[in-house]
């Protein structure tokens, strides 16, 4: 496959004939499909590293391989840690059979990442979040699959709605800024709208539909969607590396720490449950620093079991 055409396909700039050539090449053999996914992983990883020069020169310098890229990723692991995965699938449409290549990015605990999709949409992914998206968006919409929390700044395209699919609810927009919190492990769902307009609909119950206005959020409670106004945007500063609390219970704070730092916290001291706390932490300061700050206002001690990744609050 001509590498110039392949890169144009990745960038969304391929002509109809070039798209057809790429798809035909992928259908010819499993080896071609694996080669496609390998180069797509490399392309996406370079985007995440912000190395535009490598991308521009990549058409001529395909000697770069995933092994050397992994070395570069390891070097910056303290800043960004990601897992890249790829897959492909066929789907039937009125226009016939089309091959779609999917890419998945998974962010581990204690990290966050900012990526730009092929349409120019900016996405910030929080800790323990995965996002799956097509190599190139379809003709009718721009659909991604989210498990976790993400902040979206969507590029406007009236002809192609942007759809965020979660476990139980879908969020549809044309161009806007919003946050989606939908970790499948907790079953919770929340969408906060900063600007523009979004539609939230249940994937299983067609009667559950809500159109949000700016400065409002929709959340799931007792199996139903509820809307409330938002006057504090500090909780969404996680994309800046901040963990913010306002009159939060000790239990709620510990749950957030578990999410951000990828460990289990067991509270043995029941007296701490009566306290609430307001403050901010930098995620990079670590769990020990955060707990020491809390100890200034709340009386407790803690022990760490590093082997099993457990903290005991005593």
List, for residues 187-207, the tens digit of each pLDDT value.
Answer: 889 999 998 888 888 887 777
**Burial category of 311 from C-beta neighbours within 10 Å (exposed 0-12, middle 13-18, buried 19 and up):** buried
At 100, give phi and psi (nearest 5°).
Answer: -115, 125
Nearest C-alpha neighbor of 293 from the set 280, 303, 305, 306: 280
List, for residues 73-88, the tens digit of each pLDDT value.
Answer: 433 333 334 455 554 4
Residue 11: predicted pLDDT: 64
Total-model pTM: 0.66
Confidence of residue 45 (pLDDT cuts 50, 70, 90): low
120 has a pLDDT exceeding 90: no
Q: H helices of the chain, where? A: 3-11, 16-28, 30-48, 52-57, 66-75, 250-261, 287-295
List, for residues 169-181, the tens digit of each pLDDT value.
Answer: 899 987 788 999 9
CA terminus-to-terminus distance, the chain: 62
What is the pLDDT averaged over residues 211-221?
89
Q: Give domain 241-313's CATH architecture.
A: 3-Layer(bab) Sandwich (3.55)
193 in Cβ contact with 171 (< 8 Å): no
Q: What is the rounded CA–CA span in Å between residue 294 and residue 277?
A: 8
List, for residues 249-265, the tens digit of each pLDDT value.
Answer: 999 999 989 888 888 99
Residue 124: predicted pLDDT: 92
Q: What is the rounded CA–CA span in Å between residue 67 and residue 71?
A: 7
Which residues make Cβ contacts (< 8 Å) with residue 86, sequence separation at least 6?
A: 37, 40, 41, 101, 102, 103, 104
Nearest C-alpha neighbor of 143 from the set 181, 184, 171: 171
51 has a pLDDT exceeding 50: no
Domain residue ranges in the chain: 1-106, 112-235, 241-313
Which residues make Cβ contacts (< 8 Å) with residue 151, sequence separation at least 6?
A: 123, 124, 126, 177, 178, 179, 236, 238, 239
User: For residues 261-295, b (16+ Cβ closer than 10 Å) or e, as one string?
Assistant: bebebebeeeebeebebeeebebeeebeebbeebe
Share of residues in the chain with pLDDT > 90 (%)? 17
**Pairing, β 177-182 against β 190-195:** antiparallel
Confidence of residue 312 (pLDDT cuts 50, 70, 90): very high
Share of residues in the chain with pLDDT > 70 (%)? 79
Residue 12: predicted pLDDT: 64
Domain 112-235 maps to which CATH number in 3.40.190.10, 3.40.250.10, 2.50.20.10, 2.60.120.1440? 2.60.120.1440
Residue 133: predicted pLDDT: 87
Residue 102: predicted pLDDT: 72
Confidence of residue 66 (pLDDT cuts 50, 70, 90): very low
């Amino acid at each position: 496959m001509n590498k110039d055409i392949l890169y144009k396909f990745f960038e969304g700039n391929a002509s109809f004939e070039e798209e057809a050539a790429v798809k035909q090449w992928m259908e010819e053999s499993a080896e071609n499909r694996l080669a496609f996914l390998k180069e797509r992983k490399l392309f996406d990883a370079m985007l995440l590293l912000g190395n535009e020069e490598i991308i521009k020169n990549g058409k001529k310098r395909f000697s770069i391989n995933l092994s050397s890229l992994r070395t570069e990723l390891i070097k910056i692991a303290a800043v960004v840690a990601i897992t890249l995965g790829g897959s492909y699938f066929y789907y039937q449409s009125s226009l016939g059979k089309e091959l779609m290549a999917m890419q998945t990015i998974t962010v581990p605990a204690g990290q966050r990442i900012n990526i730009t999709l092929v349409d120019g949409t900016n996405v910030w992914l929080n800790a323990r979040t995965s996002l799956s998206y097509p190599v190139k968006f379809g003709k009718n919409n721009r659909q991604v699959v989210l498990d976790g929390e993400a902040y979206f700044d969507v590029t406007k395209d009236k002809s192609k709605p942007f759809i965020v699919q979660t476990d139980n609810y879908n969020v549809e927009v044309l161009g806007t800024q919003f946050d989606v919190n939908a970790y499948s492990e907790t079953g919770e769902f929340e969408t906060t709208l900063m600007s523009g307009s979004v539609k939230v609909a249940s994937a299983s119950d067609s009667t559950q539909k809500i159109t949000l206005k700016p400065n409002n959020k929709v959340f799931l409670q007792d199996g139903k969607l509820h809307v409330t106004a938002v006057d504090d945007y500090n909780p969404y500063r996680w994309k800046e590396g901040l963990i913010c609390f306002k009159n939060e219970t000790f239990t709620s704070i510990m749950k957030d720490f578990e999410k951000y730092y990828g460990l289990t916290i067991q509270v043995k001291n029941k007296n701490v449950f009566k306290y609430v706390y307001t403050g901010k932490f930098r995620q990079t300061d670590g769990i020990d620093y955060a707990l020491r700050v809390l100890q200034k206002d709340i009386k407790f001690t803690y022990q760490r079991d590093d082997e099993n990744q457990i903290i005991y609050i005593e």
